[in-house]
């Protein structure tokens, strides 16, 4: 087998040095009751060519562009990814390296991650960003755990317009902590009603997503002011970081922590993973942050270099007292994001954000013109919700037959939004694609 | 140093990206805006992001140069103990990159994503078979995430039985994520000391296990590279007091086809796909940490679960005892594809050989170096062996120094200062994908370094000398943190 270089001659020589007569004898210290009598029952080995064939037939059983037009975002966005990035990520010096515990021979990874950290601070208007987390939901969970530890309070005010799957993850993480969750509901504009915050005291954090799950842009400055009054941390989450190429940044509007999903930044959707969890904070929380941090330093000759730093926060040093249990994170995805932002540049990123917004707004206006109700009046970036009424399932299935996925049905997540669909438009949709959708819906 | 693989070569300096570029450049083919302008209210709009504008050439050169400063498994031997840095097959990359896998939205209607659901279902079956367990969840994003899932399952299972407990037993050889994960679930770790043979004694477990202890987190083989021989008895003791056995499966590379964890008393195990199952480490992830459980615990697995109804694969949320969701979507699918491809490429007989050769390689290194480095436990090891710097103490040279000198010889250093039970530990895990010639070169290099320690210690203490940077000042970095440019 091409990954197993040992020849019989190699094996014989090595067994002699070790002092045993067979490969089986290497396992004498494994007591007989522990050794299995049941050989592995798995498919026989495939050649590379059989594997190609098998995988192609599985992959063919999937819906993707250009055959299918999928107007869904909801935390997983279709954006163009330049070939230059796929090529650079294929460099095995990046992909086959481990965590940079030996920094002298990992300066490539370390500088790339330092650049990623810097991009995040600039994108979100914050002071510090970590080297990555698994995804937006776990990044948010970690941020909330941080706020509980920092304030010693157990109440959290969480918006119901946070991605419902993120909220499910939060429930799992927070259950052992016996926290009290105060829900913040939305108004007709699709933005959160902040009156519940003022009514409550001793809140560890106020947690809001913007643009929220309905695509609406929240009034972050107002919420920030309220949180400050309460001496709570203000945590802003996001699922579409491209929006901050256009909108005012969480850091400019008072966020203590800005956390979310970075998949939009040049990472393929890949059926939901791997994505990219981003955590950024103000200086104040530096020593409480979970996850790895790359910092600058000098070597013996005074040359500049990078190392993982502030490691006393981490599990390999602090064990049960660590700020988190995270070890492997999504390092290569962070490098991926840095490459994407490097390729776009500030000018290109702003341009791309505008294109996303304009295309989405166009679809929205076209749908309005054929009588479709837009569920919420708030301003949106590249997602919005429509109400298709009683005929919603019919319309959805009709479009499916034409290889169009209209959007994400919200009934599963919000029972009183049963006939509503969350739609998304990015730069990949052409005017023609959208006109076809509108035509089909109108019918 | 004529026998050294390490040599100097021309690489280029490269400033951080924020010092490059010119306003107006772009490295991206921007699509056109074919719909007109729909401006948002001015008060919502922020400043243009402060990112440098670069051409595609600048971007490619920048990251190409950075990559050339890195040492990866494709460069050479990377014997990090407990990390299983085996070769990452390139065909796996092809499969994960197929548009039918990489371009797909996770929340598609099920009839439009049967391919990925089938792949995940089959991978679940493969991992259950390999571990000898009954049910699998592919959702956890890394080993530590799998550990958290395991802890939450134990917590919920015991709670349901009206037996809320507050402590959990953790061996002194455990990886740091073990107690950290237990703490996230509110458990207080109780340390169990390994005996003089480097493994756990049933008597110690007997003394510590009580009705306020949820169970034990065991790594098998452990981080000393030794099989926990008493595991069946230990599991019996833990179970007799109503507790559960969690196994950290990071070291599975030593026992595939030889030991099935489900047959020796394990209730939950996590796997590291980026270790045993060849998916690339990526310089710090993404990995994947699926968990496998016994039938009793199946209903607690994270949702949604991938189930098969006749010939249809479906995502099922209807498990009221589930610990809930731990990741937004279904798992690190792009990583799962690679592990799936690996298992299909090897087949059952080769997977067993993987473990046999991994153990052979580690024992070979142990025999060859034990007269040079102090061997912490002079007995047969499994897939990794642990030495220390005890012999070099008298020359004032440490494991750190020797590790850095290995770099000059063209090798990535082994794990150092872990496990904590061996002061000055050097944990070497070659994996099965290293050839005898490569291992012999590694052994020769280490022998040479040990000689250098005796006769030219300065060379070792001032290493590395051939890498892009000399030894870096980690104290300075922590004292004056500068975390962004």
Query: What are the tens digits of pLDDT across the range A97-106?
Result: 999 999 999 9
Q: Which residues of A are less than 8 Å from B80 in CB distance? A: 98, 101
Q: Residue A443: pLDDT band by 50, 70, 90 thresholds?
A: confident
* A172:B324 CB<8 A: yes
Q: Cα(B16)–Cα(B62) distance, rounded to whole angstroms?
A: 9
Q: Which residues of B are less than 8 Å from A281 in CB distance? A: none
Give contacts of A 318-337 with B, CB under 8 A: 318-322, 324-335
User: Nearest residue of A to residue B64 by CA position?
Assistant: A88
* A359:B184 CB<8 A: no
* B51:A274 CB<8 A: no
Average pLDDT of the residues of chain A:
95
- Any idea which residue has 């243009």 for tokens? B48
Q: Which residues of A are less than 8 Å from B25 in CB distance? A: 345, 347
3-state secondary structure of B196: coil
Q: Which residues of B are less than 8 Å from A96 in CB distance? A: 72-75, 88, 280-281
* A82:B89 CB<8 A: no
Q: What does the block give as tokens for B85? A: 């840095």
Q: Indicate if the pLDDT at residue B1 is higher than 80.
A: no
Q: Cα(B405)–Cα(B88) distance, rounded to whole angstroms?
A: 26
Contact partners, residue B89, CB within 8 Å, separation at least 6 = A3, B278, B338, B341, B342, B345
Q: Cα(A137)–Cα(A5) distance, rounded to whole angstroms?
A: 42
* B469:A324 CB<8 A: no
User: Nearest residue of A to residue B418 by CA position?
Assistant: A316
The pLDDT value given to residue A231:
92
- Any idea which residue has 């013109």 for tokens? A369
What is the mean predicted confidence (pLDDT) over B9-36?
A: 95
Using the Cβ of A22 and the Cβ atoms of chain B, whether some distance falls under 8 Å is answered with no
User: Exposed, middle or buried: residue B453 (CB in 10 Å: 0-12, 13-18, 19+)?
Assistant: buried
The pLDDT value given to residue A286:
94
Report which of B262, B281, B373 is spatially closest to residue B335, judged by C-alpha positions: B281
The pLDDT value given to residue A309:
92
What is the mean predicted confidence (pLDDT) over B154-166?
A: 95
Using the Cβ of A113 and the Cβ atoms of chain B, whether some distance falls under 8 Å is answered with yes
* A176:B155 CB<8 A: yes
What is the mean predicted confidence (pLDDT) over B118-138?
A: 98
pLDDT tens digits for A125-150?
Answer: 999 999 999 999 999 999 999 999 99
Q: What percent of chain A has pLDDT over 90?
A: 91
ipTM (interface pTM): 0.97
3-state secondary structure of B260: coil
CA distance A188 to chain B (A): 19
User: Nearest residue of A to residue B39 by CA position?
Assistant: A358
Closest partner residue to A64 (CB to CB) among B100, B226, B282 is B100
CA distance A327 to chain B (A): 7
Cβ–Cβ under 8 Å, residues B26 and B53: yes
* A134:B142 CB<8 A: yes
Q: Which residues of B are less than 8 Å from A342 in CB distance? A: 17, 27, 51-52, 54, 59, 62-63
CA distance B396 to chain A (A): 19
The overall longest dimension of chain B from CA atoms, in Å, is 76
User: Is 0.90 topped by the overall pTM?
Assistant: yes
What is the mean predicted confidence (pLDDT) over A390-400?
A: 95
Q: Indicate if the pLDDT at residue A323 is higher than 80.
A: no
Q: Which H or E element spans position B315? A: strand B312-316
Give contacts of A 210-249 with B, CB under 8 A: 217, 244-249
Q: Which residues of B are less than 8 Å from A112 in CB distance? A: 63, 66, 283
pLDDT tens digits for B328-369?
Answer: 999 999 999 999 999 999 999 999 999 999 999 999 999 999
User: Nearest residue of B to residue A306 by CA position?
Assistant: B472
What is the mean predicted confidence (pLDDT) over B195-214?
A: 96
What is the mean predicted confidence (pLDDT) over A314-337?
A: 86
Give the residue ranges of DSSP H helices in B330-469.
333-369, 399-408, 436-455, 457-461
What is the mean predicted confidence (pLDDT) over B185-203?
A: 95
Give the residue ranges of DSSP H helices in B132-165.
143-160
Report which of A242, A240, A324 is spatially closest to residue A285, judged by C-alpha positions: A324
Q: What percent of chain B has pLDDT over 90?
A: 95
* B72:A339 CB<8 A: no
CA distances from A178 to A44, A92, B183 (A): 49, 45, 14
Q: Residue B163: pLDDT band by 50, 70, 90 thresholds?
A: very high
* B282:A94 CB<8 A: yes
Q: What does the block give as tokens for A9? A: 């001659």
Interface residue of A22, A35, A42 to substitute, partner B, most B CBs within 10 Å:
A42
Q: Indicate if the pLDDT at residue B2 is higher than 70.
A: no
Using the Cβ of A200 and the Cβ atoms of chain B, whether some distance falls under 8 Å is answered with no
Closest partner residue to A40 (CB to CB) among B75, B257, B380 is B257
Q: Residue B88: pLDDT band by 50, 70, 90 thresholds?
A: very high
What is the mean predicted confidence (pLDDT) over B268-295?
A: 97
Q: Residue B136: pLDDT band by 50, 70, 90 thresholds?
A: very high
Q: Indicate if the pLDDT at residue B283 is higher than 70.
A: yes
Cβ–Cβ under 8 Å, residues B290 and B270: yes
CA distance A131 to chain B (A): 9
Q: Residue B303: pLDDT band by 50, 70, 90 thresholds?
A: very high
* A272:B333 CB<8 A: yes
* A98:B189 CB<8 A: no
The pLDDT value given to residue B272:
97
CB–CB contacts below 8 A, A to B: 679
């Amino acid at each position: 087998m091409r990954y197993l270089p040992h020849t019989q001659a190699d094996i014989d020589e090595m067994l002699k040095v070790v002092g045993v007569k067979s490969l089986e004898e290497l396992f004498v210290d494994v007591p007989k009751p522990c050794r299995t009598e049941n050989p592995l029952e798995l498919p026989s080995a495939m050649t590379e060519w059989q594997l190609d064939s098998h995988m192609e037939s599985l992959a063919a059983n999937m819906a993707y562009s250009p055959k299918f037009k999928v107007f869904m975002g909801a935390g997983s966005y279709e954006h163009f990814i330049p070939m230059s990035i796929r090529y650079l990520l294929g460099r095995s010096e990046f992909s086959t390296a481990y965590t940079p515990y030996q920094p002298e021979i990992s300066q490539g990874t370390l500088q790339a991650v330092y650049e990623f950290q810097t991009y995040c601070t600039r994108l979100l208007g914050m002071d510090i960003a970590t080297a990555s987390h698994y995804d937006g939901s776990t990044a948010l969970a970690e941020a909330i755990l941080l706020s509980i530890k920092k304030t010693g309070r157990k109440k959290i005010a969480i918006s119901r317009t946070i991605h419902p799957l993120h909220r499910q993850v939060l429930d799992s993480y927070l259950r052992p902590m016996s926290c009290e969750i105060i829900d913040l509901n939305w108004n007709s504009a699709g933005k959160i009603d902040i009156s519940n915050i003022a009514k409550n005291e001793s809140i560890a954090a106020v947690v809001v997503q913007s643009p929220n799950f309905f695509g609406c842009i929240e009034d972050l400055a107002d919420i920030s002011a309220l949180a400050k009054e309460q001496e709570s941390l203000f945590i802003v989450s996001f699922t579409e970081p491209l929006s901050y190429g256009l909108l005012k940044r969480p850091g400019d509007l008072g966020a203590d922590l800005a956390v979310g999903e970075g998949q939009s930044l040049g990472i393929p959707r890949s059926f939901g993973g791997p994505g990219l969890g981003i955590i950024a904070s103000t200086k104040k929380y530096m020593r409480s942050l979970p996850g790895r941090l790359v910092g600058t330093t000098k070597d013996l000759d005074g040359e500049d270099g990078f190392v993982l730093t502030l490691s006393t926060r981490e599990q390999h040093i602090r064990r049960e007292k660590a700020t988190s249990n995270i070890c492997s994170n999504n390092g290569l995805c962070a490098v991926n994001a840095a490459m994407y932002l490097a390729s776009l540049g500030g000018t290109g990123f702003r341009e791309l954000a505008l294109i996303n917004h304009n295309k989405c707004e166009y679809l929205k206006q076209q749908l309005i013109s054929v009588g479709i109700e837009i569920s919420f009046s708030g301003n949106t970036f590249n997602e919005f919700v429509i109400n298709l009424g009683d005929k919603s399932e019919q319309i959805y299935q009709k479009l499916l037959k034409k290889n169009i996925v209209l959007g994400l049905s919200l009934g599963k997540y919000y029972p009183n939004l049963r006939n509503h669909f969350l739609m998304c438009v990015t730069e990949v949709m052409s005017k023609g694609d959208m006109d076809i959708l509108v035509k089909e819906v109108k019918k | 140093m004529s026998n050294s693989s390490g040599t100097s070569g021309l690489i280029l300096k490269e400033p951080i990206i924020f010092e490059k570029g010119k306003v107006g450049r772009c490295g991206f083919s921007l699509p056109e805006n074919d719909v007109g302008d729909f401006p948002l209210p001015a008060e919502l709009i922020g400043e243009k992001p402060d990112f440098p504008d670069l051409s595609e050439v600048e971007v490619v050169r920048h990251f190409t140069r950075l990559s050339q400063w890195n040492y990866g498994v494709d460069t050479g031997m990377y014997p990090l103990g407990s990390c299983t840095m085996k070769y990452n097959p390139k065909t796996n990359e092809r499969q994960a990159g197929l548009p039918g896998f990489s371009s797909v939205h996770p929340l598609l209607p099920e009839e439009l994503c049967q391919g990925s659901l089938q792949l995940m279902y089959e991978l679940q079956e493969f991992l259950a078979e390999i571990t000898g367990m009954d049910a699998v969840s592919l959702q956890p994003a890394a080993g530590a995430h799998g550990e958290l899932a395991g802890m939450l399952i134990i917590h919920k299972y015991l709670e349901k039985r009206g037996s809320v407990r507050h402590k959990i037993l953790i061996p002194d050889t455990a990886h740091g994520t073990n107690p950290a994960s237990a703490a996230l679930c509110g458990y207080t770790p109780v340390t169990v000391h390994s005996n003089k043979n480097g493994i756990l004694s049933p008597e110690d477990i007997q003394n510590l296990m009580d009705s306020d202890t949820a169970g034990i987190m065991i790594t098998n083989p452990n981080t000393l590279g030794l099989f926990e021989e008493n595991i069946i008895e230990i599991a019996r003791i833990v179970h007799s007091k109503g507790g559960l056995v969690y196994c950290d499966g990071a070291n599975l590379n030593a026992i595939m086809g030889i030991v099935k964890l489900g047959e020796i008393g394990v209730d939950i195990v996590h796997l590291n796909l980026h270790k045993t199952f060849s998916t690339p480490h990526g310089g710090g992830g993404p990995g994947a940490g699926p968990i496998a459980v016994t039938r009793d615990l199946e209903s607690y697995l994270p949702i949604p679960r991938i189930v098969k109804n006749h010939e249809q694969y479906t995502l099922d949320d209807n498990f009221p005892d589930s610990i809930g969701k731990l990741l937004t979507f279904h798992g690190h699918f792009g990583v799962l594809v690679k592990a799936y491809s690996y298992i299909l490429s090897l087949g059952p007989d080769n997977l067993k050989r993987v473990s046999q050769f991994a153990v052979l390689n580690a024992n070979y290194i142990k025999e060859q170096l034990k007269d040079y480095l102090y061997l912490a436990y002079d007995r047969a090891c499994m897939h990794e062996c642990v030495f220390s710097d005890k012999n070099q103490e008298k020359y004032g040279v440490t494991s750190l120094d020797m590790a850095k000198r290995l770099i000059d010889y063209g090798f990535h250093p082994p794990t150092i200062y872990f496990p904590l039970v061996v002061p000055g530990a050097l944990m070497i895990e070659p994996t099965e994908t290293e050839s005898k010639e490569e291992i012999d070169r590694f052994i020769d290099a280490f022998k040479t370094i040990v000689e250098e320690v005796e006769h030219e210690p300065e060379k070792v203490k001032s290493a590395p000398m051939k890498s892009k940077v000399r030894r870096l000042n980690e104290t300075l970095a922590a004292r004056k943190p500068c975390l962004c440019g």
